[in-house]
Structure 1
Amino acid sequence: MPLYIKPDIFDRASWKMEVEKDTKTTVKNKKWVPFPYNISKIDGSLNTKLLKDFTGERTSFVQVGPEKWFFPSGFAKEADDMYNFQVKSDDVWVITFPRSGTTWTQEMVWLLCNNLDYKTASEEPLISRFPFFEFSCFVHKDLKQELLERNRNDPKNYEFVKNMDYPGWKLLSETKGRRFIKTHLPFSLLPHNIKESGCKIIYIARNPKDVAVSFYHLNRTILTQGYRGDFPMYWDYFENNLQPWTPYWSHIKEGWQHRHDPNVLFIFYEDMNKVNLRSSIEKISGFLEKQYSSSKLDLLEDHLKFENFKNNKSVNFGSFEAAGVCLKNEAGFVRKGQTNGWRNYFDEDLEKRADKWIEENLKDTDLRFPC
């Protein structure tokens, strides 16, 4: 039985219209659109196994629409609000499948759009400057309660955990001025008015082997995921679309289909490595309609070099670690930034299996990764 009950969407839409009437807003101007996809529970033995291996979720995982996008149960509660988020023309979105150079790109984009204000960038965490649109879906109430109890004697960390599940879409709706938005949602699940808004969208794609290795470490590190298995088992989940934001290939192909849209810039992570970092900065700067002198771009390039970026406290989610949301004995949020680092995790059999999977999924597209 679907977890997401369609009639409830219409009830919520009616309620929003009543609010508009009370505030003398014209109902006709409200573009409230019911979330268009069915959301169904994963149940039975598969859900039991998933809950055992991914301890951040405590209720059930769900699949969304015909692509069966995979999410924790919290997605069902916020799907219609995220779908009806009102995108503005001057918004800047960074969209990726997880672990595809997202944080790196966010820092670059924010600085380019804010006159290379390194002082503010160092003082204000990236998660505040560039909110994560759907992160609240991943904060299960039981996990949150455990973290609150763990931090009950630390007012600062307690307050952080208390606000950790405040919806990104709601925070952004309350934000004045230009908004910078991070999301891992595929194009088909983005707010319904994003295309007509004319906002800037930067989509970063990374090869699936490196993505899987990096995502494996993040899943082990952050308790909202709480993965407790080894890499071969993790790859099995990844390949079979049983990881948040999968199917990976549907995500990447949707991004590829939009690469010619005038408001979309599609870039491969592999083209943003140490050799091509400067050209990537210049390409993104041009897309954002920002111009800087060569000397200023030199400074930005140095700021973004991985050896410097890895030690940048503003981008490393220190508040998550301080509150125990991230494990201290695991890899940090900004990990290695390598291309082809997957070779250290795939044995010969797993590599052959992965290569076959990749080959099969590239047959119907002209998408090809640089490496």
Structure 2
Amino acid sequence: MKCRYIAVLCAVLSLASCSGKNRQAPLLSSDTAPGKKAHTWYCFDGGAIKAIDDVRRAPMQAEKPWTEAVRISSASSAIGDGNEAPCAYAVVNRLGMIVFTGGTFRLYTDAAVFADRTAGNLVFQNDTPIFSLYKSTFFNASLANNATGGVHHFLVLFDTASSVFYPLITCTALALPAESEITDFVWDGNVFVCSVKKSAEEKTDFSYLSVQPKIPLLSLSPASAKNDLLISETDADAYRSQAAPVNIAFAPKRLQELASLVDEDTAFFVECRTAGGHSPRRYTNQMQNDDASPLSANALIADTYACLMFGDGTTYASGALYGRHIVNDGKPVAFRLPKLPAGYAYTSFAVSGTTMYAAWEKSDFYKTDKSGFLSVDLDAILYGSVSDAPR
């Protein structure tokens, strides 16, 4: 085991060597006390979560377009009430919601909600998880059901007290025809700016809506939504101004501090979520005239910590986890999650207490087969031994 983690640290060190002469962050050993594992692998199998020892040995799954495959499509952390570790949540496409509570988790499913829809875009309102549903016009054969009495979903909330899914706003309440789907939205806490895709025979049209609740969002219901929403048409520019990435220089300071440890010439794209927050913000770091494909990353900013994770598992963190002291006097630290085989990548993550949950999946272009998540003991990693090796 130690040999494997030494190899991991060497990989981080080689990656760090291009970070600039004055950029330094301590490297944390992923190793723990003998007999204790810092990581545990899980995969999705037959509608259940299964512990595995290696992603390559996860049960084979039928390769499907990412909109139709069982995979974690969105994850984030709640704020909590301060009396216990905040929960984290992951929307599992075609399956349900995972609730993470410290080092434990539970999957909640509802076939009526998830069975034939693409689920994602996790946001929060008053620490209540909300996510969207739509049907892919390319790959979903059940699109016609919208016009034959099927529920035409848009937003669903997960009631954390009862662990039940409730429809919040439907496309019907927004006066959208059966052949229209809201494929994306940006929610800033006051207004939803929605991208609407309408498919009819050989023609596809895009339009945009501004949707503003007139009452508290969590008080809405599909029956009352028509009267309790201000709905107006908007345009592509209004949507892009909210959804398009901006330069990393405009990111929150704590994210900039983590990103500054990455080689300034490295092109990357990061989706940044705020714990218990609204839609994520997107940032890019790319030199002018650089045509390289940017690396993909995800970030999470909470009250006491910030974390940035790249698709290869390279991770930067700063601050203090729930119930623990500040790491490294507030200066960022770096570690790397276990290396994934070719064709696999880490996609999103969330943190509950001192446990990080990093989603992984095997994909080829637009198709996905195996997927799951990695449970990471951050207490062992961040509060264990720290080397003085330079970045």
TM range (shorter): under 0.3
Q: Which structure features the higher share of helix residues?
A: 1
The TM-score, its normalising length taken from structure 1, stands at 0.23
